[in-house]
């Protein structure tokens, strides 16, 4: 019997992996264990989990938990990203029992946990250096080498042309899922490691349990078979320029967003952030990078398409760069940032329009007469709807928005009051002011 030929004109799905269902409306929290408390321990992290849950955090990303190399160590404590042993726990943070207790506590709070994984390189004193020197990249002198063109002299690069290395690293990834029941990984400089390694590792991890994989990279191809989410570095750079250099928001709307909605795979998820350990350590803090625009930028990164990230201390008003190689604990205090995140995350959790990837609504532009200063858009999914209007400029603006397709009764997220939207909205907006209006067919907030 003649086999029916496949229709060459039928559209094919780009993303071929399945993201766990619990990621659909999730938020992320990057947890810097060393600086999270005076003790810098797993036990002290465990004490703050109820607070993070109350704020609306769903996934805890633990910065690397492995022993840190001592040879060529930077500073007194060294870099998390100089891994001495992929199968062990850094004793500075606690014992294996402490770590297991933390994972169980995260799960009991209804949250999930991913580990930071450093696959591209190791410390100089990792046991693999002695046992398998052939697994490492060599310089033209035949010596071990640090990541080329970067100031990473406390580490040496691995060579993924070796199949034995690939199996070792895949087995190490599987170990933490099987032995400690973690829920996935954030993978350091993921694009420096061959994509076929990650694609196979994802398959082997999925044979154990569904996992969430975040790549520190922007490559679209990583979404195809390996990673659920990638970094939104470009968005951060644009928002930084808008906040600090007063450039037109057309770089955001007609540059970045036009491309994002047109060819980025809908099933793929971008991680939107205002701060993370790289930015905070080397390029300033949330206040020096965004100034008076900070709250407006936070609102935008949660309302737009993507999974939002909070870095340790942001919610407490962290206004300095944390030391990276030394002890420098966060000063925890009640702060308005935590209230803002809590309100935004509650809406994201319940309103389908704001969900992640294909579970959420596309960003659709609402036209206005101040397009170089005001960003206005709507997201809608299964009867849930959110209108966002933000003055991304340091000047007060009177703006008229064309809301003829979005008439109705909404709730103002920040006042709790009902607001009627007609075919046009005329708003007098202060510098960096934001308005979020929502409708929910499913749950009232």
Distance CA 115, CA 184 (A): 7
CB 355 within 8 A of CB 381: yes
**What local confidence, expressed as pLDDT, does residue 445 receive?**
45
Model pTM score: 0.96
Distance CA 106, CA 180 (A): 12
52: nearest Cα among 26, 24, 29, 77: 29
CB 350 within 8 A of CB 343: no
Chunk the chain into consecutive blocks of 10 residues (it has 445) and report each block's average pLDDT, rounded to whole numbers: 77 94 98 98 98 98 98 96 98 98 98 98 97 95 83 92 98 98 98 98 98 97 98 97 95 92 92 98 97 98 97 98 97 98 98 97 97 98 97 98 97 97 97 97 58
DSSP conformation class of 323 = P
**What local confidence, expressed as pLDDT, does residue 1 receive?**
53
297-300: long-range contacts, CB 8 A cutoff, minimum separation 24: 297/239, 297/243, 298/274, 298/337, 298/340, 298/341, 298/344, 299/340, 299/344, 299/388, 299/390, 299/434, 299/436, 300/239, 300/375, 300/388, 300/390, 300/392, 300/434
Q: How far is CA 332 from the centre of its chain?
A: 22
374-381/384-391 β-pairing: antiparallel
**What local confidence, expressed as pLDDT, does residue 5 receive?**
78
Residue listed under structure tokens 């076929």 = 196
| Residue 13 φ/ψ, nearest 5 degrees | -70, 130
Alpha helices per DSSP H over 315-388: 336-350
Q: Rg of the chain's alpha carbons, rounded to an integer?
A: 23
Angle at 441 between CA 435 and CA 445, to 5 degrees: 50
Tens of pLDDT, residue by residue over 240-254, are 999 999 899 999 999
Local structure of 307: helix, strand or coil:
strand
| Residue 30 φ/ψ, nearest 5 degrees | -85, 120
Tens of pLDDT, residue by residue over 383-403, are 999 999 999 999 999 999 999
Residue 348 has which token pair? 């994201």
Residues with Cβ within 8 Å of 180's Cβ and at least 6 positions away in sequence, in order, are 99, 100, 103
392: nearest Cα among 290, 320, 313: 290
173: nearest Cα among 135, 213, 136: 213
* 317-to-104, 114, 140, 241, 286 alpha-carbon distances in Å: 29, 25, 48, 21, 9
Distance CA 162, CA 122 (A): 15
């Amino acid at each position: 019997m003649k086999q029916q030929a496949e229709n060459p004109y039928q559209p094919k799905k780009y993303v071929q992996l399945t993201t766990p269902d619990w990621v659909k409306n999730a938020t992320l929290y990057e947890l810097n264990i060393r600086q999270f408390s005076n003790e810098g321990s797993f036990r002290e992290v465990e004490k703050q989990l109820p607070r993070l849950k109350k704020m609306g955090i769903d996934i805890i990303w633990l910065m690397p938990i492995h022993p840190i190399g001592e040879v060529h160590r930077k500073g007194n404590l060294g870099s998390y990203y100089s891994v001495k042993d992929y199968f062990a726990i850094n004793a500075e943070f606690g014992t294996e029992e402490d770590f297991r207790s933390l994972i169980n506590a995260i799960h009991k709070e209804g949250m999930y946990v991913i580990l930071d994984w450093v696959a591209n390189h190791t410390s100089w004193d990792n046991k693999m250096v002695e046992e398998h020197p052939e697994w490492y990249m060599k310089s033209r002198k035949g010596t071990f080498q640090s990541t080329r063109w970067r100031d990473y002299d406390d580490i040496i690069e691995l060579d993924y042309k070796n199949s034995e290395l690939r199996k070792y690293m895949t087995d190490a990834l599987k170990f933490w899922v099987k032995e400690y029941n973690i829920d996935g990984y954030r993978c350091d400089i993921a694009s420096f490691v061959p994509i076929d390694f990650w694609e196979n590792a994802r398959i082997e991890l999925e044979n154990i349990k569904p996992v969430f994989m975040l790549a520190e990279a922007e490559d679209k191809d990583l979404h195809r078979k390996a990673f659920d989410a990638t970094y939104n570095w470009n968005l951060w750079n644009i928002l930084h320029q808008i906040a600090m250099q007063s450039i037109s928001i057309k770089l955001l709307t007609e540059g970045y967003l036009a491309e994002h909605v047109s060819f980025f795979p809908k099933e793929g998820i971008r991680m939107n952030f205002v701060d993370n350990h790289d930015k905070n350590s080397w390029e300033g803090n949330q206040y020096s990078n965004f100034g008076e625009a900070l709250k407006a930028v936070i609102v935008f990164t949660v309302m737009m398409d993507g999974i939002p990230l909070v870095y340790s201390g942001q919610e407490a008003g962290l206004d300095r760069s944390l030391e990276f190689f030394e002890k420098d604990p966060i000063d925890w205090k009640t702060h308005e940032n935590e209230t803002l995140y809590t309100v935004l995350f509650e809406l994201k959790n319940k309103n389908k329009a704001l969900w992640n990837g294909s579970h959420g609504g596309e960003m659709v532009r609402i036209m206005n007469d101040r397009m170089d200063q005001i960003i206005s858009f709507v997201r809608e999914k299964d009867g849930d709807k959110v209108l966002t209007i933000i003055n991304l400029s340091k000047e007060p603006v009177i703006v008229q928005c064309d809301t003829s397709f979005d008439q109705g009764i909404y709730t103002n997220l920040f006042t709790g009051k009902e607001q009627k939207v007609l075919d046009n909205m005329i708003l007098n907006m202060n510098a960096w002011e934001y308005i979020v209006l929502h409708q929910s067919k499913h749950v009232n907030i």
